[in-house]
Structure 1
Amino acid sequence: MAQHNDTGNKAEEMAAGFLIKNGYKILDRNYVFGKGEIDIIATKDNWLVFVEVRARSEVLHGYPEQTISKTKAGLIIKTAENYVYQKNWRGKIRFDIIAIIVGQHFEIRQFEDVFF
């Protein structure tokens, strides 16, 4: 498996653990609809939260949270719309990013309600 896949898988595991530690309940992981994928879908305080996990091993060319294109955001939104419809969710939703810098030491940050 490619190094970036290993980093991505490790980052998603770290993000899921971070969310659980902070009171979230994980509902789904790697939810796919069409060409879109949502890394983690969770709930907390009556919110349905769609989480995109971004990881980098260095930040010379930007931080992980800066790497989501408009196209990627659109795919996430379209995939979330399908999930909401499929599950008949009637509550509040939001889109978060969990940004992880993986290296000798790691840093994990959550950005809430990043796009709609």
Structure 2
Amino acid sequence: MAQHLDLGRKGESLAKAHLENSGYEILDENWTHGKLEVDLIAYKNKVIIFTEVKTRTGNGFGEPEDFVDRRKQRLLAEAADEYLYLMNHQGEVRFDIISVLFDQKNNFVLKHIEDAFWPDAT
């Protein structure tokens, strides 16, 4: 398997554990709708949280969360719309980013950014 895919899976596993340890219920992992994907969908305090996980081994080109650009936000929102429709969820939603930054010794820093963005309606 490609090394970047292994790294991504490792980051997602750490993010999932972080959410669970913080009292979130994981509803879905790697949920797909067509070509759209949401890394983690969680639930806490009657809010569905759509979570994008970004994992990197360095920040020379920016922090991991910097890679959730407008295009990615729109894609997440589109996937979220479909998920909410299928689940008939009428309550609150939130979009979070969890960034995982590894160093050369395999130590990591995990940053959970709640309410990281709200996709444009356009």
Q: What root-mean-square deviation, in Å, do the aligned CA atoms of Structure 1 and Structure 2 show? A: 0.8
Q: TM-score, normalised by structure 1?
A: 0.97
Q: Which runs of 5+ in 2 are unaligned?
A: none
Name the SS of the counterpart of 1:93 in structure 2: strand
User: 1:8 maps to what in 2?
Assistant: 8
1:49 paired with 2:49, answer yes
Q: Contact 1:47/1:93 (CA < 8 Å) preserved in 2? A: yes
CA–CA separation in structure 1 for the residues paired with 2:52 and 2:9: 13
Calculate percent identity across the aligned residue pairs: 40
Residues 35 and 75 of structure 1 are in contact (CA less than 8 Å); yes or no, is this contact kept in structure 2? no
- What SS class does the counterpart of residue 26 from structure 1 fall into? strand
Q: Tell me which residue corresponds to 1:112.
A: 114
Q: Where has structure 1 moved over 4 Å in runs of 4 or more?
A: none
Partner of 2:69: 69
Which residue identity does 1:98 align to in structure 2?
Answer: I
Deviation, structure 1 residue 31: 0.6
Structure 1 counterpart of 2:113, one-letter code? F
Contact 1:52 1:97 in 2 (8 A): yes
> Aligned with 2:15: secondary structure?
helix
Deviations 1:53-98 (A, max 9, x none): 0011011111000001211111100000000000000111000000
Give the structure 2 partner of residue 98 of structure 1: 98
Instruction: State the TM-score, normalized to the length of structure 2.
Output: 0.92
5+ residue gaps, structure 1: none
How many correspondences in the alignment? 116
Aligned to 1:39: 39
How do 1:19-34 residues align onto structure 2 when only pairs under 5 Å count? 19-34=19-34
**Contact 1:95–1:112 (8 Å) recurs in 2:** yes
Whole-angstrom CA distance in 2 between matches of 1:5 and 1:85: 30
Pairwise CA distance, 1:21:
0.4
